[in-house]
């Protein structure tokens, strides 16, 4: 039973046409039922009024007949005529002022006529006669005749069968009219809903035509109520199309970038196997190791870029950017020293806290330093790491004394798989895949910040700007902001 009710509710909720039909027809049915009840009450009131008026006329006729006949019973011809008109048997009782019954039936219940009955005014009431419900009227009239002795009371009653029958006839006629109206309205409403929902059916067909290769906007004419929905869907299609294009380009570029190191690894492995001397084999194995390292870094960067692009706002933590930069710089120091390059760090003494993903922030900083080591810093040169902040932002700059980046290429270097040609003054050109700076900018964007190239007269400078964590910056007091902060500077 519960499963059946659930299926009905699910079907009702799933069909907009059925929902509209029920929501429109249900009030009409309720109104029709109320109208039927009101009409039944009106029919009863109407039949009571009609039959009460007729019963009052019968009472007057009986009274006149008794007066004319000096107390004789009403003739059968008159009674039959009255019954033929009224439909139900008619009973009467005529009594004098002293209570004597002058004519009519004597088996009426006692005390059914009120004592304060006023003359000339009809009084209607109901009672039971021989086990049947009857409707009665009583009249009190003054008759100046010795036989009637003044005030004479006329009581006439009749069964209520025809009254109820008339009420039911009126009700049936009203219900028949209401039924015709409801059936006509239901057909008209269903037709109107079907035609009114036709634009939604057209919209459904338009959406069904969309596919991963066809995500163009919907340009069909739709009602005003549906235009916001269509606009939202078109916006979604545009974002999906852009994402699909980005994914396709990413996959194509990634496949192209991975193909070269994989082919190099295969070639170097074959060369190492076929080497004739141990020295040649060691050289080929070293080349094989470097190619495998490049492939490992490429796969790691691809994964990092994908994570950064889809990083959400949840699971954030408070990260001391100064401590994180210092830790990463110390880890890169041995590698830099092996290339005759020094790393210098300048940072304020107080913590500079940001809210974000520590793993992604670490990846971004590592890529900035690694980029300077690979392409920027020259032999016997240095890399300068500087942390600075204002009331809302902390900025990390990574500066080297290399050939720099042309102004027209300042944005291009942040694109995926982009590597600039070797610049004049660049002593060496180490391997890379062009994803490091793209990761930096993607991580910055996911944390509400930015990454850009700061133009210098000589050398290259990359900046990573991130919003400070609220209440944890150490620079919330304006009075303190006006005073220069002490900086710690170290050569790592």
Query: Can you tell me which residue has the tokens 């009710």?
Result: 5
Query: SS3 for 143?
Result: strand
What is the pLDDT at residue 166?
81
Alpha-carbon distance of 371 to 420, in angstroms, equals: 12
DSSP classification of residue 178: H
Which is more confident, 119 or 313?
119
Mean pLDDT score, 291-307: 73
Which is more confident, 74 or 338?
338
pLDDT beyond 60 at 475: no
What is the pLDDT at residue 20?
84
Mean pLDDT score, 161-178: 84
Mean pLDDT score, 384-398: 92
Which architecture characterizes domain 313-491 according to CATH?
A: 2-Layer Sandwich (3.30)
- Edge-to-edge strand ranges of the sheet holding 487-491: 450-453, 460-467, 393-400, 382-389, 342-348, 487-491
What is the value of pTM for the model shown?
A: 0.51
Give Cα 311 to chain centroid, integer Å: 25
Alpha-carbon distance of 240 to 222, in angstroms, equals: 22
What is the pLDDT at residue 461?
92
Among the four given CATH numbers 3.40.50, 3.90.25, 3.30.450, 3.30.1300, the one describing domain 1-196: 3.30.450
Q: 400 and 381 in contact (C-beta within 8 Å)?
A: yes
| Tens-digit pLDDT profile for residues 7-17 | 555 554 567 77
Alpha-carbon distance of 390 to 223, in angstroms, equals: 51
| Tens-digit pLDDT profile for residues 231-278 | 898 898 888 888 888 777 777 767 766 776 787 788 888 888 887 888
Kind plus residue range of the DSSP H or E element containing 284: helix 278-309
Residue ranges of the domains in the chain?
1-196, 216-310, 313-491
Output the CATH code of domain 216-310.
1.10.287.130
pLDDT beyond 60 at 419: yes
Mean pLDDT score across all residues of the chain: 79
- For the residues of 73-141, what is the DSSP string, one character each? PPPHHHHHHHHHHHSS-EEEEEE-TTS-EEEE---PPTT-S-TTPPTT--EEEEEEETTEEEEEEEEEE
Q: Which range, of 156-165, 296-305, 338-347, 395-404, averages the lowest pLDDT? A: 296-305
Mean pLDDT score, 196-213: 81
| Tens-digit pLDDT profile for residues 325-372 | 999 999 988 888 888 889 999 988 888 999 988 888 888 898 899 888
How many other C-beta atoms can be found within 10 angstroms of the C-beta atom of residue 153? 20
pLDDT beyond 90 at 141: no
What is the pLDDT at residue 157?
87
What confidence tier does 473 reach under pLDDT thresholds 50, 70, 90?
very low
Which is more confident, 265 or 399?
399
Find residue 99's DSSP bridge partners. none
What confidence tier does 477 reach under pLDDT thresholds 50, 70, 90?
very low
pLDDT beyond 90 at 466: yes
What is the pLDDT at residue 148?
59
User: What does each C-alpha distance from 430 to 128, 267, 335, 378, 427 come to in angstroms?
Assistant: 117, 20, 14, 12, 10
What is the pLDDT at residue 478?
40
């Amino acid at each position: 039973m519960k499963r059946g009710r659930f299926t009905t509710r699910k079907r009702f909720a799933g069909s907009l046409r059925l929902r509209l039909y029920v929501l429109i027809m249900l009030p009409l049915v309720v109104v029709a039922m109320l109208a039927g009840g009101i009409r039944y009450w009106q029919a009863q009131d109407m039949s009571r009024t009609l039959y009460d008026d007729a019963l009052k006329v019968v009472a007057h006729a009986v009274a006149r007949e008794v007066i004319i006949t000096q107390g004789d019973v009403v003739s059968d011809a008159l009674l039959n005529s009255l019954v033929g008109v009224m439909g139900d048997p008619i009973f009467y009782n005529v009594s004098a002022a002293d209570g004597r019954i002058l004519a009519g039936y004597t088996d009426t219940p006692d005390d059914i006529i009120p004592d304060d009955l006023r003359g000339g005014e009809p009084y209607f009431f109901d009672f039971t006669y021989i086990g049947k419900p009857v409707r009665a009227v009583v009249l009190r009239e003054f008759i100046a005749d010795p036989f009637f002795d003044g005030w004479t009371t006329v009581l006439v009653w009749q069964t209520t069968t025809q009254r109820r029958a008339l009420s039911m006839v009126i009700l049936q006629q009203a219900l028949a009219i209401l039924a015709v109206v409801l059936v006509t309205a239901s057909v008209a409403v269903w037709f109107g809903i079907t035609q009114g929902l036709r634009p939604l059916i057209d919209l459904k067909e338009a959406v069904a035509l969309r596919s991963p290769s066809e995500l163009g906007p919907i340009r069909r004419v739709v009602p005003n109520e549906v235009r916001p929905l269509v606009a939202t869907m078109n916006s979604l299609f545009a974002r999906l199309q852009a994402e699909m294009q980005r994914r396709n380009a990413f996959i194509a570029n990634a496949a192209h970038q991975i193909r070269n190191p994989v082919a190099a690894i295969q070639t170097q492995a074959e060369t190492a196997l076929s080497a004739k001397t141990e020295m040649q084999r060691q050289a080929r194995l070293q080349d094989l190791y470097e190619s495998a390292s490049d492939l490992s870094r490429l796969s790691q960067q691809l994964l990092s870029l994908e994570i950064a692009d889809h990083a959400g706002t949840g699971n954030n933590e408070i990260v001391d950017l100064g401590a994180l930069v210092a830790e990463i710089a110390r880890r890169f120091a041995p590698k830099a020293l092996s290339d005759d390059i020094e790393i210098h760090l300048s940072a304020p003494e107080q913590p500079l806290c940001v809210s974000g993903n520590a793993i992604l922030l670490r990846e971004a900083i590592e890529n900035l330093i690694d980029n300077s080591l690979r392409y920027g810093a020259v032999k016997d040169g240095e890399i300068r790491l500087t942390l600075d902040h204002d009331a809302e932002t902390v900025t990390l700059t990574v500066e080297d004394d290399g050939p720099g980046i042309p102004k027209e290429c300042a944005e291009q270097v942040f694109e995926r798989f982009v590597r600039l040609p070797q610049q004049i003054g660049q002593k060496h050109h180490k391997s890379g895949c062009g994803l490091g700076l793209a990761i930096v900018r993607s991580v910055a964007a996911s944390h509400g910040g930015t990454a850009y190239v700061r133009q210098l007269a000589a050398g290259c400078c990359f900046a990573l700007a991130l919003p400070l964590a609220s209440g944890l910056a150490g620079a919330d007091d304006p009075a303190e902001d006006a005073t220069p902060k002490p900086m710690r500077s170290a050569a790592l």
